[in-house]
Amino acid sequence: MRLGVLDIGSNTGHLLVVDAHGGAAPLPAYSHKEPLRLAEHLDADGAVTRAGVDALTEFCRAALLVAEDKGCEEVIGFATSAVRDSTNSDAVLEHVRSVTGVDLEVLPGEDEARLTFLAVRRWFGWSAGRLAVFDIGGGSLEIAGGKDEAPEVAWSLPLGAARLAKDWFSGGMPDDDEIRTLRRKTRADVARDAGNLLRMGPPDRAAATSKTFRSLARICGAAPSGDGPLVPRRLPREALETWIPKLIAMTPEELSGLPGVSPSRSHQIVPGALVASAVMEIFEVSGLEICPWALREGVILERFDQLSVLDGIRPRSA
C-alpha cells in the first residue's frame, strides 16, 4: 500500500510518501516539505497569524496534489504543537479543511510522545531493553519511557526549539544573565515531572530523535546524513557541554555554517542545545543515541498495525 503522511510541525510541513505493509519497515518513496515556521507565526494572543494560515493552507493544497500524483491510496494528516496550542486552532483547521479538503488531526502531546516512542522501539527492537526517548520539536519537548511497545510514561513540555527561539532570541543572542535564566528555567521545567521516568530506574538505552538532536549530534562529530540511516550516531553529553559556550559566542552566519545546520534553523541551535543539555543532566545519561525514525514513522506503523488487525478479522471470500 502507498500511504501519504502529512505532518504539520511547528517548523516544517512535510509530506512523506511511503510504501509499506504490516510487518515491514516503511520504505520512503517521496518527500515534499516546506518551512512553515508556525511556532514563529503566532501573534501576541497566541493565534496563528493570517500569514501562517495562508502558508499552511497553500502547503496542504500542494501536498494533496503531490500525494495524488504519487498514487497514494490514503493520506493521513496531523498537526502538532504550534496548531495544538494556538488560540485559534479550530478556526485554522476548519479553514484548511474548507479550502483544501485536508482534514488535519491535532495530536495531543502525550500521543505525540507515545507514537514517537513506538517508532524508536521498532527501530532499535527489543534488545534495547528499558527505553527512554526524547524528542525536541519546534514547539515542544516529548519524553517517554518503558519496556514495551507502548510507553509506561509519556508527556510533553512547551520547550521546543522554535518556541524558545521566538520567546528568548528574537532580538539576537541573549546576554549571559538571560542565558543563565533560560538554562535554569529549562532544567526546572524538565525536572518537574522527571520522577515519572526516573522512578522506573535507569534506562538500558536512551535515544533521541528529530532535527534538533540530529543537528547537535552532527555538530559534535556524528556522521553526516549522506552516510545513510543505518550508521550509528550519538550525541555525547560531554561534547555538547563543550560546544554550548562556542555556539553562544557565534554569529548567525557562523551558526549557519556548522555541519548539519540549515540557515532557516540556525537561530534554534542554542535554545535546542540548552534543552538537550537539560535532558541529559536531569535524566543522568552520558549521551543519547540518535534514531532516524520519529513521529511520522510512528503514525505509519500504528496505521499499518490497525490495517493488519482489520485484515485478520475480515471474513475470507469463498
Look up residue 265 and give its DSSP letter: G
Q: Which fold has domain 109-296?
A: Nucleotidyltransferase; domain 5 (3.30.420)
Residue whose cell numbers read 508556525 = 38
What is the pTM (predicted TM-score) of this model? 0.94
Q: Cα dist. 151→35, 143, 145 in Å?
A: 31, 10, 5
Given a cut of 70, is residue 312 above it in pLDDT? no
Given a cut of 80, is residue 197 above it in pLDDT? yes
In the numeric block, which cell numbers belong to residue 194? Answer: 522527571
| Architecture (CATH level 2) of domain 2-106 | 2-Layer Sandwich (3.30)
Q: How far apart are the first and last CA of the chain?
A: 24
Percent helix / strand / coil, the chain, rounded to 5: 50, 20, 30
Q: In what order do the strands lie in the sheet with 287-291?
A: 153-157, 141-146, 131-136, 205-209, 287-291, 234-236
Q: Each residue of 251-286: pLDDT tens digit?
A: 999 999 999 998 989 999 999 999 999 999 999 999
**Which residues of the chain form CATH 3.30.420.40?**
2-106
Rounded to an integer, the average pLDDT of 25-45 is 93
Q: Each residue of 97-132: pLDDT tens digit?
A: 999 999 999 999 999 999 999 999 999 999 999 999
**Which residues of the chain form CATH 3.30.420.150?**
109-296
Residue whose cell numbers read 555556539 = 247
By the 8 A CB rule, do 17 and 312 touch? Answer: no
Sign of the Cα pseudo-torsion (176, 178, 181, 183, in order) = negative
CA torsion angle for 221, 226, 230, 231 (degrees, to 10)?
-20
In the numeric block, which cell numbers belong to residue 151? Answer: 510507553
Q: Each residue of 281-311: pLDDT tens digit?
A: 999 999 999 999 999 999 999 998 888 765 5
